[in-house]
Amino acid sequence: MGKIVFTGGGTAGHVMPNIALFKTLREEGWSLSYIGSHNGIERDIITGLEGFGDIPYYGISTGKLRRYFDLKNFKDPFRVLRGVWQAYRLIRNIRPDLVFSKGGFVSVPVVVAARLCRVPVIIHESDLTPGLANKLAVPFATRVCATFPETMDHLPKEKAVLTGSPIRAELLSGDAARGRLRCDFVRGKPVLLVVGGSLGSQVINRAVRESLDRLLKQMQVVHICGKGNLDPALEGKAGYRQFEFVGPELADLLAMADAAVSRAGANAIFEFLAAEKPMLLIPLSRQASRGDQIQNAASFEKRGFSMTLPEERLTPDTLVSAVLELLDKREHIRRNMREYGAGTGNEAILALIRETAGAPGKT
């Protein structure tokens, strides 16, 4: 087999789907490398990986491409150009058969450099509509993978492929009994998994904790609250377990969960879909984002996979009411998921990688 360079960063959502592909590619004999920023979350995740062998990590200069006025907008284009040059030299040295990009601003210089080196590029777009970084990168791509059916309308027809989302296989092989043991939970009482994104969500954390006593009358709550967001006063509270961050043990927590409360980032919600976990989605507001999570949540709710509670309406009262309704509907929602045939997008993406990496025009 040949060589593949992965890129993507800025948030865990631009890194973890790449990792979902690593195991199979390694088993098939591919040599893998990663290009990201010097100090982004992607460096910490990739260099801290275990079980995949040594995956070389290369940092390059990058800049954020903002839609609003900021003095940094005058400096960042030069950082991006420097990143293109650095990525160009790396790609000429590595001589990969393919570059696979998961998006984020660090990916733009890498995709442009790959095109300059005549290396095929596959981009994966998680959200319903492409973000700014992927919009800039699509003209340089060979193929573009879409997660939502609706996304196909926003991509060049000759490049777009509906693949679904890559999901880490180990996430779907957890043990519910082990999860209950870890959390000191009892069997027979519903478990609610609360996830506020890789950095945690202050508004979700606050609403959960302010409604906790009412929630615990009906269910047990495992709360992944983000780094620095633990509440010491709640340690040891019966039926409640909080974590800043979880690694491999997430599979066991997911296995024991009956339902989930989450932001509406595409990677997270497709993981819940693959695991057949009914969701209450609280998307980031338009004031805090470009509205992609609102679109993601609307698509899932339309297909009967989830309920939506807008952040603007989030209070302890509305949260309790929505969670209880979700638990009442959970069997119906699971049926919708099973009928859809959720699964993962791994094999479709891997097949596209194999096909594209063998195409002419590489260095």
Domain co-membership, 350 together with 324: no
Domain co-membership, 323 together with 297: yes
The C-alpha angle with vertex 281 and arms to 276 and 285, in degrees rounded to 5, equals 155
Low-confidence ranges of the chain (pLDDT < 50): 359-363
pLDDT at 70: 59
CB atoms under 10 Å from CB of 54, counted, come to: 8
pLDDT at 190: 98
Domain co-membership, 244 together with 150: no
pLDDT at 197: 65
pLDDT at 363: 40
Domain co-membership, 212 together with 306: yes
Answer for the pair 129, 151: CB distance below 8 angstroms, yes or no: yes
Give me the number of domains the chain comprises. 2
pLDDT at 72: 63
> Which CATH number goes with the domain that contains 225?
3.40.50.2000
Whether 223 is in a domain gets the answer yes
Domain boundaries, position 258: 170-340
Domain co-membership, 149 together with 184: no
What is the side-by-side order of every strand in the sheet holding 259-262? 240-243, 220-224, 191-195, 259-262, 279-281, 306-308
Domain co-membership, 134 together with 198: no
pLDDT at 177: 97
pLDDT at 286: 76
Domain co-membership, 334 together with 348: no
Domain co-membership, 310 together with 186: yes
Per-residue model confidence as pLDDT tens digits over 225-245? 988 899 999 999 999 999 998
Domain co-membership, 151 together with 222: no
Answer for the pair 30, 100: CB distance below 8 angstroms, yes or no: no
Whether 362 is in a domain gets the answer no
pLDDT at 360: 41
Domain co-membership, 82 together with 162: yes
pLDDT at 340: 85
Residue whose C-alpha is closest to residue 349's, from 103, 107, 102: 102
